[in-house]
Amino acid sequence: MEYSIIIEKNPSTGWYCGQCVQLPEALSQGESLDELMKNMKEAILLAIECRKENLKELYQGRKVFRRRLTVNA
């Protein structure tokens, strides 16, 4: 899956800061763009794992099912 990252370079430190558009809680930084992107991958994976855990807790003990839904906009 592809994610969009908003990147900003801090003028005082020269470091790059990033935030994932689809997962706003996924934030990271790096001294270079390569380092930032590596760190963003880790942040995205952690955000996904955290969301999965939160959903498990939310629906624990309830009878639920999943369906796929396609929306063309």
23-63 pLDDT, tens digit per residue, is 999 999 999 999 999 999 999 999 999 999 988 888 888 88
- In sequence order, the 6+-apart residues with CB closer than 8 A to the CB of 17 are 7, 8, 9, 10, 27, 28, 29, 36
Give residue 17's domain range: 5-59
Residue 12 lies in a domain: yes
Total of domains in the chain: 1
H or E segment to which residue 5 belongs: strand 5-9
Residue 38 lies in a domain: yes
- What pLDDT is attached to residue 15? 98
Tokens of 14: 């020269």
Residue 54 lies in a domain: yes
Alpha carbon of residue 3 to chain centroid: 8
Residue 42 lies in a domain: yes
- CATH code, domain carrying 25: 3.30.160
How many C-beta atoms surround the C-beta of residue 15 within 10 A?
Answer: 14
